Structure 1
Amino acid sequence: MDRVDSSTSELCKQKQEIISEVKKVTTISQEKAQSGVGVSYANALKGIPPIIVRPKNKQAAEKTRVDLNKIDASDMKIDRVSNKNNGAVVINANSVSDKDRIKSALADNLNKEVYDITEPKVNTPKILLAHINAEYSETEIINKIKAQNSYLNDASLKCVKIFKSRRSGEAFPSFSAIIEIEHKFFLQVLESKRLSIGWDRCPVYDGQTVRRCYKCLGFNHSSNSCNKKLRCSKCMGEHKSESCTDSSQKEVCGNCCDAVKELGLNLDVAHNAFSRECPVYIRKLKLEKQRVGC
């Protein structure tokens, strides 16, 4: 019984840690998203891409707004309008039907020789399926999800990645999988908290991730294209983390140190660069959720 209680406690702790990764948000007011198009995460989950009105020649966004204001918008339900670089204006609608109505009005009234009207692709949400206690192929996982969870029978699912992990005190490893899932099922799966896979009821979490470089440990690029120096996740030294000989046991996050130095932020830097509680990581994760179809 003690072993069961201990295992349950550990599962609860891991669950809370993962949930806190994606819900905790640290505001970095000086940092701005470099990608030009953003949309609310709620609209992303609904599958509603923004409409981008982009001038073919560079101009101020205010000039684009002047031309937009010539169009009657009294019957259009608009969620948000924002200015972007090079005169582009991004329009977010409340529903797919509203978006289609707005896009049609823009196409009918804006000069096609002056403006391009486009819709970026909406990113597909991902779920993390954890603690699978048997080894399955990607196809087997998808088939079992559909067969054992009736409301997902007709869902469009794709297994992106399977990885192995071993929890403390366990003799055998378990597996986790990242699954792409349709917008209309995403929140329903998260609310269910678990999915049946084989003999397991596996916990489910938001699987949104942030691209990371394993050379400099920065974000939004890969080590293959990185022109920065190698950086240790523990001490910021110019060596691999597994080769670190710093015995001070005082970890320092290079990403947070950069934010403090370059942006003048007051951040806690005393953690490993791979920590899920890293303020910069949390901010990047939030921006990634907002970046729909950039």
Structure 2
Amino acid sequence: MSESFENFKRELVSNFSARFDELRSSFLQQSPKNDGGVTSYANAIKQLPSIILQPKDENQSTAETKSEILRNVDPLKTGVSIKNTKSARNGSLIIRCEKPDDTEKISKFTNDTLGEKYTIKQLPVINPRIRVVGITNRDITVNNLSDYIIHQNDSLFIGEPYCKVEKVVPLRKDPKRFQATIEVNAATYSNIIRNGYLIVGYDDCMVYDAIDIKLCFHCCGYHHYQKQCSKKLPICPKCSGSHNAVNCTSDVLQCVNCTLLNKKHNVELATDHAVWDFNKCEAYKKAKTDFKSNILSIK
């Protein structure tokens, strides 16, 4: 009985693998290729480069930045096509252009006319991440998971399918089941999260938002780590003092990021927590929401 069942199981897996390879081959043959006449969605995203203009005066507002840029680098006069703009911290302005050439133009014009007052940086395209939970097939790995996800959930992918698998690990409470972290483009992310699950093999796997932001434990700022920090003086992530966390002797917790938000926006957020207490820290939640909004705002 046991041997018959094992033979049946091997035959089932073999048939499924053969059918999967057949469907995969058929899908690849039928998928329209980008012949230059039609721009795929993935390529379209790459062709929406953004730059950030950072005023060297940290007290300058974004409204002042936008006004000064308009006076000196008029889109109509320079012929630059702007897709959209977004306010950033410390008076910075993020500008998304229609074409890579426009990004270079506005960078050059701004640098030539306002180079002494602004730092200009080009922002990389950042794709959102998703956590996929409940994979039971042990034959699925980092190397082949993207094939399963794309070809079993093709209706959720927008344009040219893109799915990068970062890791596949067993669940702590159930080592026989696995979870994966994947990266997809913004439009596909929205479809998958809205759908609520992905089919992987014979499993309906729940999906969760895995967008996160970096936190520096030297200056307590966001979007970089300590080894990338340019600040000279440390800020304690526990008490906001001018020392590292390992040298902190204070029994009073005070989040420097929530304290700064209170001063800047005249609000009364709770500050009695460390910057790494993400469940309590409203500054972290706001930074994550803003970051998520920025990388998903493809309009």
Band the TM-score falls in, shorter-chain normalisation:
0.5 to 0.7
1:139 Cα deviation from its structure 2 partner: 1.3
Whether the 8 Å CA contact 1:126–1:181 is kept in 2: the answer is yes
Q: How does 1:175-194 map to 2 (within 5 A)?
A: 175-194=178-197
Matched, 1:148 2:166: no
Pick closer, same or farther for the CA change 1:176–1:270 going to 2, 3 Å: farther
1:64 is matched with which residue? 69
> For residues 37-81 of structure 1, what are the alpha-carbon distances to aligned partners after superposition, in whole Å with 9 as ceiling and x for unaligned?
xxxxxxxx96633356799xxxx8455322333835999675447
Q: Following the alignment from structure 1 to structure 2, what is the Cα–Cα distance between the partners of residues 172 and 141?
A: 18
- What residue in structure 2 maps to residue 91 of structure 1? 95
Question: What residue number does 1:103 align with?
Answer: 102
So what's the TM-score if we normalise by structure 2? 0.51
Q: Is the CA contact 2:153–2:198 (under 8 Å) kept in the aligned structure 1?
A: yes
1:121 aligns with 2:127: no
After superposition, the C-alpha distances for 1:208-232 in whole angstroms (9 at most, x for unaligned) are: 1112357998744446578555859
Letter of the aligned partner of 2:69 in structure 1? T
> Which one is further off, 270-279 or 158-167?
270-279
Other structure's SS at 1:195 match:
strand
Structure-1 separation of matches of 2:259 and 2:90: 26
**Rounded Cα–Cα distance in structure 1 between residues aligned with 2:53 and 2:200:** 45
Q: 1:264-279 alignment to 2 at 5 Å?
A: 264=263, 265-268=267-270, 273-276=276-279, 278-279=281-282
- Compare CA radii of gyration and give the structure with the larger one: 2
Contact 1:215 1:231 in 2 (8 A): no
Report the Cα distance in structure 1 between the residues aligned to 2:223 and 2:121, rounded to whole angstroms: 24
Distance 1:84 1:216 in 2: 15
Does 2:284 align with 1:285? no
Match of 1:165 among 171, 175, 180: 171
Mapped contact 1:76–1:101 kept (Cα < 8 A)? no
Residues 192-216 of structure 1: CA distance to partner in whole angstroms, max 9, x if unpaired?
2110112211122232111235799
Using the alignment, how far apart are the partners of 1:173 and 1:270 within structure 2? 40
Distance 1:261 1:114, change over 3 A: closer
Percent identity over the alignment is 19
Q: 1:132 touches 1:202 (CA, 8 Å); kept in 2?
A: yes
Per the alignment, in what secondary structure is the counterpart of residue 91 of structure 1?
Answer: strand
Deviation at 1:119, TM superposition (A): 5.0
Matched, 1:132 2:132: no
Question: Aligned partners of 1:267 and 1:130: how far apart in 2?
Answer: 34
Q: Which runs of 5+ in 1 are unaligned?
A: 1-44, 94-98, 233-237, 240-245, 247-251
1:189-228 counterparts in 2 under 5 A?
189-212=192-215, 219-222=222-225, 227=234
Residues 159-189 of structure 1 show CA distances to partners (whole Å, capped at 9, x for unaligned) of 123344335xxx5464322211123422222
Q: Secondary structure at the match of 2:167?
A: strand
SS for the counterpart of 1:187 is helix
Could you say if the C-alpha distance between residues 218 and 81 of structure 1 is closer, same or farther in structure 2, counting changes exceeding 3 Å? closer
Distance 1:230 1:188, change over 3 A: closer
- Letter paired with 1:288: F
Shift of residue 267 of structure 1?
A: 2.3
Q: Which residue of 2 aligns with 1:249?
A: none
Residues 199/121 of structure 1: CA separation in 2 closer, same or farther (3 Å cut): same
Give TM-score scaled by structure 1 length.
Answer: 0.52
C-alpha distance in 1, partners of 2:111/2:209? 40
Determine the C-alpha separation between the residues in 2 that align with 1:76 and 1:120.
17
Q: Which has the higher contact order (CA 8 A, sep 6+)?
A: 1
